[in-house]
Amino acid sequence: MSDHPRMLLTFNIDTIGHHHAAWRHPDTDPRRANDFEYYAHLAVLAEDAGVHSVFIADGVSHDPDNTHAPVLGLEPFTLFSAIAARTSRVGVILTVSSSFSHPYTVARQFASLEHISRGRSGINIVTSTGDAAARNYGLDRLPDHGARYRRAHEFADVITELWDSWDDDALELDAGANRFVRPGAVRRIDHVGENFRVTGPLNSPRGPQGRPVIVQAGSSQDGREFASGRADVVYTISQSLDDAQDFYRDIKQRAAAAGRDPDRVKVLLGIRVLVEDSGTRAREKAAELQDLLPYEQKLAGISRILQTDLTRLAREEPVPPLPEPTDRHQFQTQLVMIRKLIDRGEVKTIGDLIERLDGGQGVSSITGDPVEVADHFEEWFRAGTADGFIILPQITQTSGPNFLRSVLPELRRRGLFEQSTGGTLKHQLGLDA
Ligand SMILES: Cc1cc2nc3c(=O)[nH]c(=O)nc-3n(C[C@H](O)[C@H](O)[C@H](O)COP(=O)(O)O)c2cc1C
């Protein structure tokens, strides 16, 4: 079992779902895609169920030719503020691209979110994928993998220095002495680096956590280096229990080698969930989803993450040899994972690959009744694959509430999960001691 006695849980508040055909399923009302009230409803459900945080994913481009995928258009900082006002205990983690954001702006936005949420904020730093994103920020194409991660390191340095540019007790608030701020308690940072020049200090006092929880979500070698050196939480994915165990050990070892307490780097594994009261009904819905996703769309999605065109291949054809990941590969984590499935003979044909990815981008999935789903989480948790999980419902509008209503009590009954009692996000993650 993991060192941590209780499972940490994050619930992804996307309004549609993680199966690419979720919006077409009769369970889904697609008009709720950008309905703030529905996001708020999910966040409140998650808070009431006692999960430790909700997670807001993000991307910074849109393909105008892609007319068959739902567009989730609520910008994360705006959404976070509104959700923070509707909740009081659950942590809120939002995604920021270090490749296309400026650290002074982001440090400032998070300083405000820290105050607004009373210390419940987390920043998921991603390096982004897709040349389309680069073209929205003045570049012709996405910078190479190594360059993106170098920028991510520097980005994290600068935001941290900015948050630390204020002492905890900087506000003196002495009206008699005419001193709002204690002299020397707020300092410039004078950062000069490859990507950024920032004088500082931040123009906002420290929030309740000092700085937000830092999350990292890429599992390439560069991603692991980044995560183990400076993240509080690492998001990852795995298609195999053994690989997840290896990843968990690797992150903890790297953290120790970097002079950190490995227990202060929490590994959370993303799992897509389709849960119904009856396992038979859950499996029927999984099949309905697969039927709703046209063959060409399945192949287009897989081709995108592999950066290899598979769109003309038939179901029974073998998966062609896939390249070794290079600096130009944007989804290194997924490429390495799929190559392993092929090397181990678990995936041979295009049809096998489609089945294994199950309408997603590489995140593993579990389908079943509440006991079957809880069994899966228990097995992976006890096997030391993670300190907790990111719940990614396949069809948000049914599997999301179903998970919270039926699987969580089962995990609690088994002594694996304890309802959060609130406090700062660091406190909820066991990182404030
Ligand atoms: C649970 C989870 C959530 C993620 N959320 C986002 C996201 O919101 N936006 C994004 O651009 N990438 C997101 N990613 C993707 C990764 O940050 C990363 O781009 C991808 O895994 C490739 O990383 P690598 O280059 O280190 O392999 C997420 C990954 C995981 C595991």
Predicted confidence band at 429 (pLDDT cuts at 50, 70, 90)? very high
Euclidean distance between CA atoms 96 and 59, whole angstroms: 9
Identify residue 309 by its one-letter amino acid code.
D
Q: Tell whether ligand 1 has an atom less than 6 A from the beta carbon of residue 235.
A: yes
Rounded to an integer, what distance in angstroms lies between the CA atom of residue 347 and that of residue 345? 5
- Rounded distance from Cα 81 to ligand 1 centre (Å): 23
5 confidence band (pLDDT: 50, 70, 90): low
List, for residues 320-356, the tens digit of each pLDDT value. 999 888 888 888 889 999 999 999 999 999 999 999 9
Q: What is the pLDDT of residue 399?
A: 98
For the chain, list the domains and their CATH numbers: 8-276+362-428 (3.20.20.30), 294-358 (no CATH)
Say yes or no: CB of residue 129 within 6 Å of ligand 1: yes
The string of pLDDT tens digits covering residues 71-91 is 998 999 999 999 999 999 999
Q: How far is the CA of 367 from the centre of ligand 1 (A)?
A: 23
355 CA to centre of own chain: 23
CB 400 within 8 A of CB 388: no
Report the residue among 247, 272, 332, 333 best suited for mutation to probe ligand 1: largest number of ligand atoms under 8 A from its CB: 333
What gap in Å lies between CA 179 and CA 275, rounded to an integer?
A: 58
| Mutational pocket test of ligand 1: of 14, 95, 327, the residue with most ligand atoms within 8 Å of the beta carbon | 95
Residue 359 near residue 21 (C-beta atoms within 8 A) = yes
Model confidence, pTM: 0.95
Atom of ligand 1 nearest to the CA of 335: 27
Q: Has residue 225 got a pLDDT over 70?
A: yes
**Which numbered atom of ligand 1 lies nearest the CA of 237?**
31
Task: Dump pLDDT digits (tens) for 241-277.
Answer: 999 999 999 999 999 999 999 999 999 999 999 999 9
Distance 94 CA to ligand 1 centre (A): 12
Which ligand 1 atom minimizes the distance to the CA of 56?
Answer: 8
How many beta carbons lie within 10 A of that of residue 300, not counting itself?
16
**Contact yes or no for 113/84 (Cβ under 8 A):** yes
Give Cα separations from 40 to 14, 44, 98, 180, 421 (angstroms).
11, 6, 27, 37, 19
* Contact residues for 300 (Cβ-Cβ < 8 A; gap 6+): 311
pLDDT above 70 coverage of the chain, percent = 99
